[in-house]
């Protein structure tokens, strides 16, 4: 029998998957332009408790009027955020960067918590 937690997890996965194509496309474009850059996909809901810190970590030209965000950020931003809110995930994000098949780590932040995913992507470099 499904629990409320199962429903939240499925909803989170659905929201991450909804942005998958856009995140992979942006990651591919960024990787072509700056192949040395280590990147992470971020999906931040406006009501996530981490959203205020996340916005402060973004360069000013990437901050938006709303607190929500979907896009690619430098890994250093994700590491600072994880260090503050989920230090146990620091090992996960580093291992994704060393996987045999190149994978794009994705962090999803919502009022109900933080979720992670990783998508294969045809990065250059």
Q: Percentage of the chain with pLDDT > 90?
A: 30
pLDDT of residue 18: 93
pLDDT of residue 23: 94
- What 3-state DSSP class applies to 61? helix
Domain segments of the chain: what residues?
A: 4-120
CA angle 24, 30, 33 (to 5 degrees): 145
pLDDT of residue 98: 52
- Is 31 within 8 Å of 37 (Cβ atoms)? yes
Tell me the pLDDT tens digit for each residue of 95-108: 655 555 678 999 99
Which residue in the block uniquely carries the two structure tokens 């045809």?
122
């Amino acid at each position: 029998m499904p629990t409320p937690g199962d429903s939240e997890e499925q909803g989170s996965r659905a929201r991450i998957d909804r942005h998958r194509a856009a995140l992979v496309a942006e990651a591919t474009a960024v990787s072509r332009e700056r192949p040395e850059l280590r990147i992470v996909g971020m999906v931040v809901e406006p009501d996530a408790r981490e959203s205020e810190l996340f916005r402060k970590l973004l360069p000013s030209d990437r901050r938006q009027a709303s607190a929500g965000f979907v896009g690619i950020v430098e890994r250093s931003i994700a590491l600072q955020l994880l260090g503050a809110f989920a230090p146990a995930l620091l090992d996960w994000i580093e291992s994704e960067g060393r996987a045999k098949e190149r994978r794009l780590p994705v962090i999803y932040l919502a009022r109900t918590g933080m979720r992670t995913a990783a998508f294969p992507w045809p990065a250059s470099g």
